[in-house]
Structure 1
């Protein structure tokens, strides 16, 4: 039976690189190792565990059931080691390490971009990576230790018990219309959305139905709902006069301009909570904890 001391961290690093990159060649490139070295690491790991971790085929490599079971633990193990090293290095006074933050487009542009710039300037020994994804991916990434912190809407039920969150701020929801649209001079009421073509962000097949629950709760049945992945697409379709858009205030502030007008819908129904998420089973590194503090102190205050 294998014991932890039998496994080297470099083997786990190569294992994760193959998972993330999809091929041994790409994994070798990202880890700056020769491909035979990466292959040797995987072979050694498989030998110690007495299992096959990958199915090799003409179209690349795929995880076996054993590989899937090892994956979250390998990620967590390397994340904990890196966090410990960062913490020790930070004893000398200056923060050290790497912080990986996940977010959605509106918060990335309005909240996180300037915060990351200030944080990097204040802590030159810390690198901050930003990754965007839909709410489900962000939670999965936190649970799997792929990212340290995630900023996302709290509307969607959580799937992972180990993922916890704290309220950051509330964001108003805006409608977007062409500037010369008849609704431009009308109060932004949900009733104006009835029997109209709407454009919203979301992926219903993945359980992400941004704003559609609020429409149902308001008793509003649109003529059609078009789901897109990005708020810039919402604005582009509005500009093409293909419907009325619904999007968060932050995204509206950086995507709508010129011939597109945005107007806030009434509170409290058309306000959504934005939370920050992390993995409760994993201690945040000193750098990640400092970034969380900076994030919470930077979050918009209630108006």
Structure 2
């Protein structure tokens, strides 16, 4: 099944053979044997590769789960054999990568020097897909109340904190002098918004205040968003973590009834007892707790 998975992910028998270090005839033979065992074709062979049949797509989901479980077993055995040595592939969204991950990795480097944590930056949907497919061991993701992540049975989620949403105005804005603002006071402003989930959250909180935002600009980059705000081109909502990682000197940040997003760690349920995963989860959870305590000061 894992040979089939390699071929499916490569998109061709030749690519699968290269990935496995096998010959094409050997891979073809194993693929035909698997098709005989399951009694239906799994791929349609084409001049430039292979295309999965409906049965092939169904089997690939099980093959991905099997690969993830095998990887979890390998990690656990390696950790037990080498006193928690091993590799953890961590996916995290940009503002978490800039604020939560560095102190967590620094703590792990001290407490578990044999543990190799490798960071890959990814927004929540991509990060979730990577964990599901076995391309990442765990992910730090966020979700707004209206856009909870879609978890499959083999994944587990651990909440690690809340990330409050702030109003960001030009420093010279007439309403920038206070600590708090009513969103309804910004109904005539132009807005810059972020990802699809962020735009939906902006739309919902503004609707609760009786208006629809005039969204003129969209960007996933909070540095760009703040630059637009600083030059008086728009106002925006940004999470506290994004403002912790970067704050433009010419913007004002105010509290408002703008909600928050939930921060969470997602990994395969099978890897819960893996020492490397457990240590990484604990370190990131502690980093999130420190961020929350800083916010309360």
TM-score bin, normalised by smaller chain: 0.7 to 0.9
Q: CA deviation at 1:274?
A: 1.6
CA contact (8 A) 1:174 1:262 kept: no
**TM-score, L = length of structure 1:** 0.76
Question: 1:38 and 1:148 mapped to 2: Cα distance?
Answer: 30
Q: Which range moved further: 170-179 or 291-300?
A: 170-179
RMSD of Structure 2 on Structure 1 (CA): 3.4
Equivalent of 1:249, from 240, 254, 272? 240
Q: Which ranges in structure 1 are unaligned for 5 or more consecutive residues?
A: 1-6
2:24 aligned with 1:33: no
* Per-residue CA distance 1:162-217 (angstroms, 9 max, x = gap): 2443321222222333434444334441233212121122226xx97243322222
Report the counterpart of residue 87 of structure 1 in structure 2: 76
Equivalent of 1:228, from 199, 219, 242? 219
Report the counterpart of residue 3 of structure 1 in structure 2: none
Question: 2:143 and 2:98 mapped to 1: Cα distance?
Answer: 19
2:265 aligned with 1:276: yes
1:72-151 equivalent positions in 2, closer than 5 A: 72-120=61-109, 122-151=111-140
Equivalent of 2:284, from 272, 295, 298? 295
CA contact (8 A) 2:5 2:60 kept: no
Report the counterpart of residue 196 of structure 1 in structure 2: 189
* Per-residue CA distance 1:250-287 (angstroms, 9 max, x = gap): 112223324x42404236x5333222233446645321
Q: Which range moved further: 53-62 or 73-82?
A: 53-62
Question: 1:126 and 1:266 mapped to 2: Cα distance?
Answer: 41
Q: Which ranges in structure 2 are unaligned for 5 or more consecutive residues?
A: none
SS at match of 1:195: coil
Report the counterpart of residue 251 of structure 2 in structure 1: 261
1:52-63 equivalent positions in 2, closer than 5 A: 52-55=41-44, 61-63=50-52
Question: 1:23 and 1:240 mapped to 2: Cα distance?
Answer: 51
Q: CA deviation at 1:218?
A: 2.8
CA contact (8 A) 1:252 1:262 kept: no
Question: 2:231 and 2:15 mapped to 1: Cα distance?
Answer: 41
SS at match of 1:147: coil
SS at match of 2:200: coil
CA contact (8 A) 1:27 1:38 kept: no
Task: Kindly report structure 1 stretches of 4+ aligned residues shifted beyond 6 Å.
Answer: none
Number of residue pairs matched? 287
Question: 1:23 and 1:117 mapped to 2: Cα distance?
Answer: 41
2:56 aligned with 1:67: yes
